[in-house]
Structure 1
């Protein structure tokens, strides 16, 4: 079960990262072209929103099932080892913060207002979230 959830977490990560990049570019183009923010634009942003939240949920399940997560944090050994600290603390914490920022961007864009501000809300918050996610991916474990 643990291995299956690990593979699911890695697979959804590709989809979520791709969706975030596509939505950021799409919203940036929408903002620069001064077009109206439509229901279609909101639904496109919703795809990346949902995928990132599913990724977070699967990651949290994996964290509590994993021998690497809570156990390393409770033993105190994680803080002295940079790789262990990344997996036990930095990766989950930074990704939770990133998902909160993505959520803020999406929620702000749902409120009525100027189209350009709605586009900007999504592409800026999603981009900050994407940078935070990319900064804390355990690349050595992911690409292995």
Structure 2
């Protein structure tokens, strides 16, 4: 089960990053071409929100059952860069990134004008993508 969840989490990460990049590009294109913020744009950004939350759920389950996760939490593990990455830096940064994406979607959904709605998605999704790219364990990522 643990190995299957690891593969699911890694495979889903590719999907999340690709979808967020496509969504970001789509919204950027609409913003620069002065298009109206339509229901379609909202639904496209909702897809990004849903898959990031799905990835969060898989990651939290993996964090709980993994020997590199919460069971490894100790002062000794903080001295090792890879242990610290798995038990603290990666989960915390990803949660912050997903919170930013959630805030961006909420602000865009409840926004009053098209420009502010587009800017909310571009800023918050952009920051979320940046944080995700910053703390993916690239050295061991398949």
> TM-score surpassing 0.5?
yes
Q: Deviations for 1:75-127, whole angstroms, at most 9, x for unmatched residues?
A: 32221011110011000000000000000000000014111111111111101
Q: Which runs of 5+ in 2 are unaligned?
A: none
- Provide the aligned C-alpha RMSD in A: 0.9
Task: Give the equivalent residue in structure 2 for 1:28.
Answer: 28
Q: Report if the CA contact (8 A) 1:68-1:87 is conserved.
A: yes
- Are 1:51 and 2:51 an aligned pair? yes
Runs of 4+ in 1 over 3 A off after TM superposition: none
**TM-score, normalising length from structure 1?**
0.95
Q: Report if the CA contact (8 A) 1:23-1:123 is conserved.
A: no
Q: Which runs of 5+ in 1 are unaligned?
A: none
Aligned residues: 142
Q: Report if the CA contact (8 A) 1:27-1:120 is conserved.
A: no
**What are the within-5 Å matches in structure 2 for residues 9-20 of structure 1?**
9-20=9-20
Q: Give secondary structure in 2 for the equivalent of 1:118.
A: helix
- Residue 30 of structure 1: CA displacement? 1.1
Q: Report if the CA contact (8 A) 1:25-1:123 is conserved.
A: no
CA distance in 1: counterparts of 2:67 and 2:33, whole angstroms: 49
CA distance in 2: counterparts of 1:141 and 1:127, whole angstroms: 24
Task: Give the equivalent residue in structure 2 for 1:116.
Answer: 115
- Are 1:72 and 2:72 an aligned pair? yes
Q: Report if the CA contact (8 A) 2:64-2:71 is conserved.
A: no
**TM-score, normalising length from structure 2?**
0.97
CA distance in 2: counterparts of 1:116 and 1:93, whole angstroms: 31
Distance 1:85-1:23 versus aligned 2 partners, 3 A rule: same
